Amino acid sequence: MLVSPDGRLSKWLHWLFEMSLVIKGLLAAGETVSGLALLLAPHSALISLWAWLTHHQLTQNPSEDMTLWFKNLADTFPVHLQHFYALYLLAHGALKFAMVIMLARRILWAYPAAMMILSGFVLYQLTEFVTHGSLILLALAFFDAFMIVLVWREFQILRLKVAAEKTAGPAAEPNVLPQKSAL
């Protein structure tokens, strides 16, 4: 185990775990809503939105890199790519949201599953970083790697608690511990 489950550092690490669940949950909800919006929005409406968002900036400074990038993206954004991103964001967000809910409910089998899912995310993000150089994906990879350590630590503590409860008496539900989290 990383740290004794009763110390001040342990409480701080548990708080960090809970806050990372909140952050992951918010990001997952945002991804899911974005995917749903991309799926339901007409393609022409997205192109019009991008044109409206960049029009003011293009009139003030027509050579600004970020604005030109967005304009180029809007000009070359096909419908099939919109559907791909919609489905990707929906699936990715829903998977992460389900993972967060199960971890917040302290379902034991969800901890190893979450570590595997997060490991997959880290591998994908690092591959994309190496391929495309996206610093955002590198930061997300570090966040997910840190989250894996926190999930592993919480899993170890919960396994000890479950083992202690089994020796003390039968639990109400075998794979779910009582809620103690602020979530």
Residues 6 or more apart in contact with residue 17 via CB below 8 angstroms: 150, 151, 153, 154
pLDDT surpasses 70 at 114: yes
| Percentage of the chain lying above the pLDDT 90 cut | 38
Residues making up the chain, counted from first to last: 183
Q: What is the pLDDT of residue 147?
A: 92
Mean pLDDT, the chain, rounded, equals 83
Residue 103, pLDDT above cutoff 90: yes
- Give the model's pLDDT for residue 170: 58
Q: Read off the pLDDT band of 169 (50, 70, 90).
A: low
pLDDT confidence of residue 178: 56
Asked whether the beta carbons of 107 and 175 are under 8 A apart, the reply is yes
Tell whether the model's pLDDT for residue 97 goes beyond 70.
yes
